[in-house]
Structure 1
Amino acid sequence: MKYKLIPLAFLLLRSFGCNEHPFTDYRPLEQSGMWSSSVQELKKLNTSDTEVEQLAKMKQAGISDDTCVAVIADARNHQHPFASADSAMGLMHAGYNESIILEMTKVDQLDKLNGDAVMLRLVGLSDAAVDTILRKRMKGQRTLSSGEIGRLKNTGLTESQIMERINRGMTDAEADKEAAVREATRNHANTGFQRVRGRRHY
C-alpha cells in the first residue's frame, strides 16, 4: 500500500504548493464580522493563519473588509506575507483614514512610514501639509524628518515657512543648523536683563 501513498502525497504537494495554505482557519474573521464574500476573496489570495490573525485585529479596530482584502493583495504583489496590522491600526488611531494605509501598502512602505506619519500628526501640521509630506516620501522624494520639522516649528517658523524649506529640498543637516542658530538667538534674547534704576534719595 505504501507505493500508492507516495503518488497521493506528491499530488497534494503539487496541488497546494509549498507556500499555499489550504487548511487556513477563517473563523476569526467571520467572528469579527467580515462578510462571507470578503472571506472568499481572501481564500483566493491564499491567506495564512498568521495573516488571518492580523486581519482579525484590523477588523476589531474598525478597518473595513475592502481594506483587509486589499492589503493582502498588495502583500502578494510584493511577494511577502502581510504582518503590518499594528502599523495600520497606529495610523487609524492617529486620525488617518484607510486610503493612506492602502497608498502605503501599494508601495510597500506601511511599516517604514507609519511611525513618522504618526509623529507628523503630533507635530501639529495641517492635513494638507501632512498629506504633501507623506506623498513625497512614498515617491522617494526627500523631505525633512518629523523630528526636524517639530524642532523648526518650535523655533517659531510657521507651517508655510517649513513647507517652503521642504519644497526646495532642505536636508535634515541644514535644518539642524538653522534650528540651532534660531534656538541660540532665542536663548540669548531670553537671558538678557535690564538694569532697574532705583529712585535716588536725597
Structure 2
Amino acid sequence: MRYTLIPLAVLLLRIFGCDSHPLTDYRPLDQAGMWSSNVEQLKALNTSDTEVSQIAKLKQAGMSDDGCVTMVSDAHEHHHPFASADSAVNLVRAGYAEPMILEIAKTDQLDSLSGDAVMLRLVGLSDSAVEVILHRRLRGQRTLSSAEIGRLKNTGLTEKQIMERINQGMTDAEADREAAVREATRNHANTGFTRVHGRRH
C-alpha cells in the first residue's frame, strides 16, 4: 500500500502544483457575459475562485474581457493573485478610461494610486492635467498630492499655475507653505475695515 500511495501523491503534486486551482468555478464569469475564449485564457492563468469573484466585479463595472485577463496576467507577473478589483472599479466610476487603468495595473500600483487618482477628478482638473500627473507618478517622478493640489486651487491658483509648479518639481511641503501664505494673505484682506466717522453736532 505504501508503494502505491507515495507515487500517487507525487503525481498529484506534479499535475496540480501547490498553488494550482483545478476546481475553480468559472460560472460567475459566464453569467457576467465573458466570452468563453477569455475564460479559457483565465484557466490557463490558473485563476482562483477569489480572483474569479474579483473579475466578476470588473465585468459588472464595464471592463472589457481582454482588460480583465490583462489585469490578472499583470498581477501574476508581479507574483501575487489579482485582488484590486475595488480600486479598479473606483477608477472606472471616477471616469478613467480602460487604457489608463490598465497602465496603472501594469505597474502594480492600482491600490496605491487609485484613491489619489479619484481625488484628482474631484479637485476639478482637466483630463490632460490629470493624465500628466498620473504619468509622473507612474514614472516615480515628484508630483503633488491631490490634497495639496486642491488646497492651492482653493487659494486662487489656476490649473496652468499649478501644473507649472508640478513640472518644476514642487514638493508637498513647499506647496503647503505657499498655500499657507496665500491663505493668510486672503484672510487678512478679508478682515480689513473702514472707519466710520459720525456727524458732528
Give the TM-score, by structure 2 length: 0.97
Amino acid at match of 1:6: I
Superposition RMSD in Å: 1.1
In the alignment, structure 2 segments of 5+ residues that lack a partner are none
In the alignment, which residue of structure 2 is the partner of 1:158?
158
Q: Note if 1:180 corresponds to 2:180.
A: yes
In the alignment, which residue of structure 2 is the partner of 1:107?
107
Quote the offset at 1:9 in angstroms. 1.9
Amino acid at match of 2:118: V
Q: What does 1:125-140 correspond to in 2, within 5 Å?
A: 125-140=125-140
Amino acid at match of 1:138: L
In the alignment, structure 1 segments of 5+ residues that lack a partner are none
Quote the offset at 1:201 in angstroms. 6.0
In the alignment, which residue of structure 1 is the partner of 2:118?
118
Task: Tell me, in whole angstroms, the C-alpha distance in 2 between the residues paired with 1:49 and 1:143.
Answer: 38
Quote the offset at 1:160 in angstroms. 0.4
In the alignment, which residue of structure 1 is the partner of 2:33?
33
Any idea what the Cα deviations from partners look like across 1:91-142, whole Å, max 9, x if unmatched? Answer: 0010111111110111111111000000000000000000000000000000
In the alignment, which residue of structure 2 is the partner of 1:148?
148
Amino acid at match of 1:21: H
Task: Tell me, in whole angstroms, the C-alpha distance in 2 between the residues paired with 1:17 and 1:112.
Answer: 31
The alignment partner of 1:130 has SS state of: helix
Task: Tell me, in whole angstroms, the C-alpha distance in 2 between the residues paired with 1:196 and 1:103.
Answer: 63
In the alignment, which residue of structure 1 is the partner of 2:78?
78
Quote the offset at 1:2 in angstroms. 4.6
Give the TM-score, by structure 1 length: 0.96
Quote the offset at 1:61 in angstroms. 1.4
Quote the offset at 1:75 in angstroms. 0.7
Any idea what the Cα deviations from partners look like across 1:72-98, whole Å, max 9, x if unmatched? Answer: 110111111100000000000101111
Any idea what the Cα deviations from partners look like across 1:141-188, whole Å, max 9, x if unmatched? Answer: 000111000000000000000000000000111100000000000000
Amino acid at match of 2:36: S
In the alignment, which residue of structure 2 is the partner of 1:60?
60
Percent sequence identity over aligned pairs: 74
Q: What does 1:83-102 correspond to in 2, within 5 Å?
A: 83-102=83-102
Q: How many residues are treated as equivalent by the alignment?
A: 201
In the alignment, which residue of structure 1 is the partner of 2:50?
50
Q: Note if 1:189 corresponds to 2:189.
A: yes
